[in-house]
Amino acid sequence: MLTTTGVADNNLIQRCLPSPSRRALRPYPVIECFQEIPCNPCSTSCPFHAILPMDSIHDIPVLDFDKCTGCGACARVCPGLAIFIVDESRGDGTGSVSLPYEFCPLPQKGEIVFTMDRAGCVIGEGTVVRVSPGKTSGTPLVTLNVPIEQVHDVRFFCSKERADRFVLLNTAETISDKIILSAIDDDSDTAVPAIVEDDNNAGNEESPPVSKNIDNEKNERERDDNGNDTDEDEAIICRCEGITRREIRELIAEGYTTVDEIKRISRSGMGPCQARTCGPLIADEIARMTGQSRDSIQPSMHRPPVVAQPIAFFTGGDDE
C-alpha cells in the first residue's frame, strides 16, 4: 500500500509501537520511516541513545523504548517529518500528538483545529496545547490534544478557515487499514524496522497527457486576492536543498523540461536522498506543464557510488 498510495497501512504502523504497558507510562516517538534511504539525524541526535547506532546510513531506525523519554529531539531533526511524539498516559480519554510543522504562521495555543490523517482527510478536531517554535533546534513541533482513539491516525492539521480545501472523511466509507488499531500482541519494547521494497509495477500506469501552454503557466496558477502565489506554490519539493514548487515551475516555464536539466540549474536532487523524493515530483510537474505522458519523463542520471560509502572505501583502508 505504501509504494502505491504513499500511505502506510496498519501492519507497518503496528511495528513502530511499543508495548501497551510502555505506551501507558510516558510519551514515546512513532518513527514512520519504512524505506532504506541515506538518512541518520535521528540516531545521531538522540541525547539518550535510544535510537540504536546504525551500521549503515541506509539502515531503518530501531528504537529502544526503555531508554526513550519522549523528549522530541528526533522529531525536530527528521528531514522527512516522519517522527511523531505520542502521549497516551493522560488517563482521561484523550491523548496528545506532537507534529513537525513547517508552515507559517504557527498556530496559537488553545486554537481549535481540524485534524487530518495520513491521506490528508479531515477526521475530527483537536486543541493546540503547546507550540515549540524550534528557532535554533530544528523543525517546530505543534502538540495537539485529541481523542485517545485517534492518536495513531492524526498526522497533520489545518485551521478551520482552510478546511474547505481538504476532504472530510466519511466514517461510513472508512476502510479497515485507515484506522490504526490500539492493541499489539507482544510486550517487546524495541521497535522492529519495517522495510518496504519498491513495487516493480508501481507507477507504471500512464497518466493521461494534459495539454498546457507553459508560456502561460505562471498566469494560470492559483493566486490570492492580492495576486500573490498561494501556499501550493511555496510547498517544498526538494527538502534537501529547499527548492519550492514555484521555483521548479518557473524553471520549466523557462524551457528546462527534463529532470536532469532542473537538477543542474537548481541543485534539486543533489542532496542526501539523491532525488528519491523530489525526482518523481519534478517529473510530475514537467509532465503536467508540457503535456507529455508521465512515463516519458526520464529520471535524472545517477553515477556511482549509488549508495553512501565510508571514507575508508575510497582511501583503501580496512575492509571493515
Q: Domain limits of the chain?
A: 2-178, 231-296
| 217: phi then psi, degrees, rounded to nearest 5 | -60, -45
Percent of the chain with pLDDT over 70: 73
143 and 130 in contact (C-beta within 8 Å)? yes
Cell reading at 317: 583502508
Greater model confidence, 134 or 51: 51
Burial class (CB in 10 A: 0-12, 13-18, 19+), 120: middle
pLDDT at 206 (0 to 100): 42
pLDDT at 49 over 90: yes
pLDDT at 178 (0 to 100): 43
Report pLDDT digits (tens) over 220-268: 444 545 555 556 788 888 888 888 999 999 999 999 999 989 998 898 8
112 and 159 in contact (C-beta within 8 Å)? no
How crowded is residue 233: how many other Cβ atoms within 10 Å of its Cβ? 18
For the entire predicted model, the pTM comes to: 0.59
| 229: phi then psi, degrees, rounded to nearest 5 | -60, 145
Beta bridge partners of 115: 124, 157
User: What average pLDDT score do residues 43-49 get?
Assistant: 92
Q: What is the distance in angstroms between the CA of the first residue and the CA of the last residue of the chain?
A: 37
pLDDT at 305 (0 to 100): 64
pLDDT at 162 (0 to 100): 72
Q: What is the CA radius of gyration of the chain?
A: 21
Report pLDDT digits (tens) over 175-229: 334 444 433 444 556 555 544 444 444 444 443 333 344 444 444 444 545 555 5
Instruction: 164-169: list long-range contacts, CB under 8 Å, 24+ apart.
Output: 166/114, 166/116, 166/120, 166/121, 166/122, 167/120, 167/121, 167/122, 168/121, 168/122, 169/117, 169/121, 169/122, 169/123
Could you please state the CATH topology (level 3) that the domain comprising 231-296 is classified under.
Arc Repressor Mutant, subunit A (1.10.10)
pLDDT at 123 (0 to 100): 92
List all residues 6 or more positions away from 305 whose beta carbon is below 8 Å from its beta carbon.
313
259 and 283 in contact (C-beta within 8 Å)? yes
